[in-house]
Each structure stands twice: as C-alpha cells, then as structure tokens.
Structure 1
Amino acid sequence: MGDDSTAGIILAGGRGERAKPITLQSADYIRSKALIPFAGKPLIEWIVEACREQGIRRFYVVAQGMENRSQIKLVLGHGERYGVEINYSRSRFDQYNVGSGAATLHNLEQWDLTGPALVMPVDSLFDFSLDRLLATHTATDALVTVAAVTRTPQETAGKYGVMRTTDQGLISGFVEKPRLQLIEHLFPEALTTPDARTIATSAGMYLIDCGRLRLAARNPELIRLAQQRLDWGADLLPWLVGHDLPVAVERIGRLGDLGSIGDYLTTLGEVLTGEYPQMNRAMESPLSVEPRYWIHESSLRTKDNVTGTTLAQKIADGSVVIGPGVRIGRHAEIGAGVHLQYTDIGDGVDVHEGVHLHRAALGDAAVVGAYAQISDSYIGPMAHVHSERRSPVRLDDHSAVGDGAHLWPGTRLSGVSVYPRLRVPAVSGLPAGTQLTSSDDILQWV
C-alpha cells in the first residue's frame, strides 16, 4: 500500500493547552500531546503504526524544547521497535517553529526533502487511505493535497472553516467559520439534503510535494510570514491558493480530534465501538464482539479484595456488567456491582464495588472508590477517587482529574478540571469550566 518514497512529517511541538490536565504531569510540567494515553498506548504510537501499515517507513518529528523532544524520543527512539526510521528536528531550529506552517517549511530545508510527504498533527486520529491521497495528488499535479472530512451544514456552521473547490477538485477559496445562512448561500445543494455530510472541512493532514513547496517558500512575502506566524490552515494554505498554486482536496474516512477533554472522550468512544477501521486492524481482537469489549487475561484472573472472586467469575454470574465499547488493560482489579460502558481502563487500575463508569477513561494505576458515579470524565494515572457508599463521588460533563490528584468522599464535579497532585476536599456546586490549578483555587470553594 502507498508509496515507499512517501515520508511522514509529524508536527509534535504544540503545548496542548486545550487538553489540560491530560497534557500535564504536574502543574508546571507539560506532557507532550504526542504522549497522551489513548486505548493503551501513547497517541504517537498509534499514528506511527497507522502510517506504517500504509507503507510509510521514514518519519520526521518536529519537536519543540527539551521536555517535548526528550519525552517523544524516549517512546519512539529512532524507530527500531516499529520497523521504521525516525528523525527529529534539530533543537537550534526551535526558534523558527512559529506556527505549524512555518515549522514545516523550515524543517523541509533542514532535512533536504524533495519527494512526497504526509504532514500530520499529533493531537488527532485519522482513518485515511494514502493511496487515494497520492492518486488525487498526482492526477491534479497538486503542490499540496488537503485531507478533508465532510460535515453537515449544522455541524459546520460557526465552528469549522470551509473549503470551496473547482470541478477539478482544486481549492478556489476558504470561508472561515461561516454562519449557517452563508453556508446555505454558498452551497445551495446543501438545502436539498440538509442532514447529509456535504461540506468539506480540512482534517489538518496534508500530502505535500516537498521540492515544489520549498521553491514556493522562497517567495520573499512567504519568508516574512514564516518569520512571524504561519499556520497551515489560517495562513499557508490561503497564501498558496491566493497565488494560484494548485492545492487539491481528497476526502478521508474519519477524523477524531483529541485536543480537548470532550473531543478526547468522544473519539475514544468511537474507537472502542469500532468506528475507525484502521484502529480495528491495529488493536487486538476483542474478547467479546457483542457487546464489543477487550479485557486482558491478567485482569480476568485478578480477584477483588472484598469478594475474593475473579473478574471472569463476576462477569459469568452477572455481578459485573460489561456493556459495549470497553477496554480493560493488565492487572486491573474490578469489584462486584460494577457497571461499565464506553470506558477505557488502564493497567493496574482498582475499581471498587458498585462503581458505574460511562464514557470514561481511567489512566494506569488509578483508584476509584466504592459507588462512584463517573460519566463523560477523565481520571488520570495514579489519581485516587476516595468514594464511599454513604458519600459517593460524582463526576460528569467532561470533568477531568489530573495525574496523582485525590478527590475526597462526597465530591461532585460537573465540567471541572483538577490539576495533577491536588487534594480536593468534598466540594460541589463549582461552575462548569472551573479549573482547580492550585491549593489557592481550592480554598476559594471550600
């Protein structure tokens, strides 16, 4: 599949502000977005494996700063474990990484790339065909081919930029987050099928002709932009189209954004329910197909410390209910009376009796106390939810608990983020969107 000469360029230098506290290991130590835990692996591993499946064997990682670069290199190395070659941007060029477009252009020169390359961010999950991207790229003689996802007018309005295309499949212009009325004016065909996915929006993935793009980047105007701020979507693509350089569009199967807590949980749920064919091939076969779930054999054998029965026994007698879209990693301890749906549970997690988890993610070695009610929420590695039967903890509406944080019995959070290592007393009634970043923040609500 694909073309052995196609390189992969991974833009991994972003700070992941929207995804905090998932991207934090402590209040002042940012975990690279590339290392966000997702379905049992750091996200960047899934990205490399998906590209390798389609024939990409050479990767170039654009990193930023010591922590970002060292964290990624500790996971990927130089690609030996994955059967690929992985190169990294030089630290002295970090100062030029002012936007995704600028970072790409500067590093194309550093690496002296001339052939085709697939540029992708590290905070999204893609289901795509490299062969189809290459075919469109060649047929249109494009400088850049934009991977696109189609959305309904209602999904698009006010949230996504829209690409206008010619009959030849080339981009003729962009409309930044148009209102629904403007979408209906620009795309009258959408009025006939308003629920159909007909509006093309960028997925943030680009197949580029490295040699020709490097030539275009020598334009003095583009040189000035790349020294100030140059993002792919907002700046570089409009500049290329505005200068009559061929930019094509090719639709891909699916895009999963992981840049915020809500998007992360939505994409995770879609993966666990089988909506990403590439992930279906990359993940091990599920233990059960209907309902669909994965449980590592070590967790099936693990006994809880209250009943002394294994998870396999509790599933068989119905005292643990596993719904669709569940993954349980290694050596997890699951108590009696637990209900799980659309939930990812990491290695070494303790889930005590009576817990209900729905559309949730639990990081490695997290502990969830008895009778906690957790939905649409993220619990980080080593976090401890001290829930009790008489005083349960309740989390919902995209709440997030950072690494190593503790929540005391009776805590109720809705749409609230708790930063790593904080100890939160029994609080409730905090406004959605509250971020508890320090002990001072907590004192305001106690």
Structure 2
Amino acid sequence: MLWVDLLSDEKLVAAKSTVSMDNPVVIMAGGKGTRLDPFTKILPKSLIPFGDKPIIENIMDRFYQNGFSRFILIVNYQKEMIKAYFGENTLPYNIAFMEEEEFYGTAGGMYLLRNVINQPFIVTNCDTILDGSYLDFYRWHQDRNNIMTIIGSHKEFTVPYGVLCMNNGMLDKIDEKPKLDLFINTGTYIFDPSVFDIIKDRQHLDMDKLIRELKALNVGQVGVYPHWGGWFDIGQWDEYRKSLKELGNV
C-alpha cells in the first residue's frame, strides 16, 4: 500500500537543516493504537496517513529539518508492516529497528537500547508533533545537565462550572468558570544515557513510573522545557482531525 496513492500524486521530501546532529531519536512505535480504532486494526498507528505521509514520517521530517537524521524505532504490534514501509521507501534517514518481545509499556522498551546508545538521546511517541525547534529542546537539556527533560506544552483550560473555594467547610468565594494555565506532558523527552543505570531489567515500565523513580532516587535533575508553541496529539480522532486543519493538511 502506498500512501502517495491514497492521498496525493506527489510526496515531498523534507529539507534538512544545515546543522547535523548525530544524537539518536527514539520513536516508540510498538503500541496497538486503540484510540484510533478501527483503522489500527488494519494499520499500525504509526502508519496512519496524515496528509501525504504516515504519521511517523511527518514526525521524522520535523526532526530532520532540525538536523536529526538517526532514528531508532521500537516496534511490536504489526512490526513487519512498519519495517516493510521503510524498506520500500527511499528516505534520507538512518533507521534502525528494535523489536519488543512483548508489550513493555511507554518506557520499558528503552531497555533494548542499553547497549546501543551512549550519548544523550530523544524519545518521542509516534503520535506527537511539536511546532517548535527540537534542536532548541536538545540544547536546553544539555545546558542544564539534566538526566531527563520533559517537553511540557502550555495549555489553557476553562473549567465549565462555578468552582467553590472553601476553607474548613465554609465558602470563601465562587470562582465562575475559571481558567487554568497548565503545562502538559507532550510525550517527548530527552535523556542522558545514565538513565540506563535505572532501566536495568526487561520489564513493563510506563514513563510516569520511570519519572517517579528518577525523582525518588535523586540520581539527576528532571527538567521541564516550557514549550509555548503548538502541540498536536494525533493519537485520537478528535485531535487527529483538528491537527489536520491546523497544520494545513486538508
């Protein structure tokens, strides 16, 4: 199946940055993508079309535009289809695959990288696009000597109700439909390779648990990069459609 045939007559190749980064970008592409049912019963989430390319290639293009061309894909569900897609398409990337034997969670697959990576690296989900400079994210991480940096996207939420502000059971005030300014975990991270001292075992491990372990063990700083640009979580249908419109792909 060719995505070009599905969505356009021509497929554009991203222009590479003049900066060249050897640091690997790890893309977690092993999940089942149940939020994108029923299409993910046929295609792995990473290969769902997004414009004239699959989701994962859009993500890789953005990294490539920032000078990153070395990718490691951690695969599991429908891994042969993912490998076949990249085997049949000529792309200006260096792509390697690491295969999970079972589902290890959102961070457990990093165990497979312990003997592969010996320098700072980026980890991202296969359904997250950030409208910003990945190179700036990386440099910010390096300048602070963090063991881990989480890219947090600013979001403003309006509570659709009147909020009761209380003190010892007594009403202080009613805050009608307040707005909350929050930084949301985007699913994009930068790690120092010393993190592999923590991820020693082949086990199921989700990213939130890894973050708590790093904080509890106090083995290094866990920073948050405050990203004020766009963040597109295209792993669910409402956000997928919204992102297509905002990024000009429809």
1: CA distance between counterparts of 2:164 and 2:225?
Answer: 26
Q: String of CA shifts for 1:339-397, please: whole Å, max 9, x gaps.
A: xxxxx3xxxxxxxxxxxxxxxxxxxxxxxxxxxxxxxxxxxxxxxxxxxxxxxxxxxxx
TM-score by length of 2: 0.78
> Which of 247, 264, 267 lines up with 2:240 in the alignment?
264
Q: CA deviation at 1:147?
A: 0.8
Q: Which residue of 1 aligns with 2:213?
A: 239
Counterpart of 2:101?
Answer: 94
Q: Show the counterpart of 1:141.
A: 145
Report the counterpart of residue 35 of structure 2 in structure 1.
Answer: 18
Residue 3 of structure 1: how far off its partner (Å): 5.4
2:197 is the alignment partner of 1:215: yes
SS in 2 for 1:77: helix
Post-superposition Cα deviations, 1:1-21, rounded to whole Å, max 9, x if no partner, equal 565121110100010111112
Residues matched between the structures, number: 218
Q: Secondary structure at the match of 1:4?
A: coil
Report the AA paired with residue 9 of structure 1.
V
- Which residue matches 2:14? none
Question: Is it true that 1:204 corresponds to 2:187 in the alignment?
Answer: yes
In structure 2, list runs of 5 or more residues that go unmatched: 1-16, 166-174
CA contact (8 A) 1:5 1:115 kept: no
SS in structure 1 of the partner of residue 183 of structure 2: strand
Contact 1:34 1:42 in 2 (8 A): yes
**2:92 alignment partner AA:** G
Aligned pair 1:81/2:90, yes or no? yes
Q: Which amino acid counterpart does residue 243 of structure 1 have in structure 2?
A: L
Tell whether 2:129 aligns with 1:125: yes
Q: 1:113 to 1:24 in 2, by over 3 A?
A: same
Structure 2: which amino acid aligns with 1:107? L
Superposition deviation, residue 59 in structure 1: 0.6
- Identity among equivalent positions (%) equals 23
Alignment of 1:17-416 (within 5 A): 17-25=34-42, 31-65=43-77, 68-77=78-87, 81-90=90-99, 93-95=100-102, 97-104=103-110, 106-110=111-115, 112-154=116-158, 195=179, 198-210=181-193, 212-218=194-200, 223=201, 227=203, 229-232=204-207, 234-244=208-218, 245-252=220-227, 253-272=229-248, 344=250
RMSD: 2.5
Q: Unaligned stretches of 5+ in structure 1?
A: 26-30, 158-179, 183-190, 273-326, 328-343, 345-446
1:313 is matched with which residue?
none
Deviations, residues 294-320 of structure 1 (Å, cap 9, x unaligned): xxxxxxxxxxxxxxxxxxxxxxxxxxx
Secondary structure of the structure 2 residue equivalent to 1:107? helix
Counterpart CA distance in 2 for 1:181 and 1:103 is: 44
Q: Report Cα offsets for 1:66-86 as digits up to 9, x if no partner.
A: xx21111222229x7221110
Matched residue SS, 1:206: strand
Kept in 2, the 8 Å contact 1:45–1:76? The answer is: no
Runs (4+) off by over 3 Å: none
User: Following TM superposition, by how much is the alpha carbon of 1:128 offset from its aligned partner in structure 2, in angstroms?
Assistant: 2.5
Give the superposition deviation at 1:263: 1.6
Distance in 2 between residues matched to 1:257 and 1:266, nearest whole Å: 10
CA deviation after TM superposition for structure 1 residue 139, in Å: 2.1
> Residues of 2 paired with 1:53 and 1:120: CA distance?
16
For residues 245 and 212 of structure 2, the distance between their equivalents in structure 1, rounded to whole angstroms, comes to 34
CA pair 181-269 structure 1, distance change in 2 beyond 3 A: farther
Q: How many Å separate the matches in 2 of 1:125 and 1:134?
A: 16
Bigger-Rg structure (1/2): 1
Aligned counterparts of 2:24 and 2:137: Cα–Cα separation in 1 = 13
The alpha carbon displacement at 1:249 in A equals 1.1
